Amino acid sequence: MRGLIEKDLRLTFMRKQTIALYLVMAVIMGISMNGTFIIAYLTMLAMIVGTGSISYDEYDNGLPFLMTLPFDRKTYVREKYFFSLMAAVIAWCFGAAVFAIIDIVRYGGAGLSEIPMMTSVIPSMYLATAILIPLQLKYGAEKSRIALFIIFGIIAVLVVGSGQFFEEGNNPFSAVIGKFQNLPGAVVLMILVAICAVATYISYLCSVRIMDNKEF
């Protein structure tokens, strides 16, 4: 797996000028907008870059060549999940450092207490990775992005459409949501991590099955 991670890092840094531009844009937006935005933005960007490494592997018929190297398909799939998570954690740490610097300069560090709870960004964003990796392995980069947009569009419609229902006090779900909102932040974070772990495991099983059925 170390060789695959090194390969993806080298392929990623081949676009260092584009990545540097994204980082500069993130810092500018972090200064002009809410400082916590930069953490979420960079984490999301890192996960897009992580899953995008599959496109690099498929370019110019490279994936069949990779499959001739001494590793199995499960290792390839595991590396994609690990690489995306590693990229997200590094980007989150960088974003948190920039946020801390901006907050100290502007407000004397008054907002630094928000950083621990911003760790919830990682599992929240990683849910998108759990959806995108099997889609990309199955359908390729372009079709998987279209499918992801459709899925998120359906989720957004359901959330907006059900907003009034959950706001009403005469249904059992309102009480459950009220209790959930009153939970300590650490408990909510643990629940979110557990949901992300289950979703990632299911996604991993699907991705392994997709790779096993591929013919090169």
Residue numbers of the domain that contains 106: 2-213
Q: How far apart are CA 12 and CA 3, in angstroms?
A: 14
Is residue 203 within 8 Å of residue 127, measured between CB atoms?
Answer: no
Please report the pLDDT score of residue 145 as a whole number: 66
- For the purposes of burial, counting CB atoms within 10 Å of the CB of 112, is it exposed (0-12), middle (13-18) or buried (19 or more)? middle
pTM for this entry: 0.81
Angstrom distances, CA of residue 102 to CA of 39, 178, 209:
12, 34, 45
pLDDT of residue 187: 80
189 token code pair = 């974070």
For the chain, 216 residues long, the average pLDDT of each consecutive 10-residue run is 86 81 79 75 85 81 82 90 92 88 79 81 87 85 68 62 54 56 74 91 94 81
DSSP string for residues in 50-113: HHHHHHHHHGGGHHHHHTTSSS-HHHHHHHHHHHHHHHHHHHHHHHHHHHHHHHHHHHSSTTGG
pLDDT, position 42: 87
pLDDT of residue 154: 67
Q: What is the pLDDT of residue 66?
A: 82
Q: b vs e for 145-159, b when ≥16 Cβ sit within 10 Å of the residue's Cβ?
A: bebbeeeeeeeeeee
- What confidence score (pLDDT) does residue 183 get? 66
Q: How many domains does the chain have?
A: 1
What is the pLDDT at residue 71?
Answer: 83
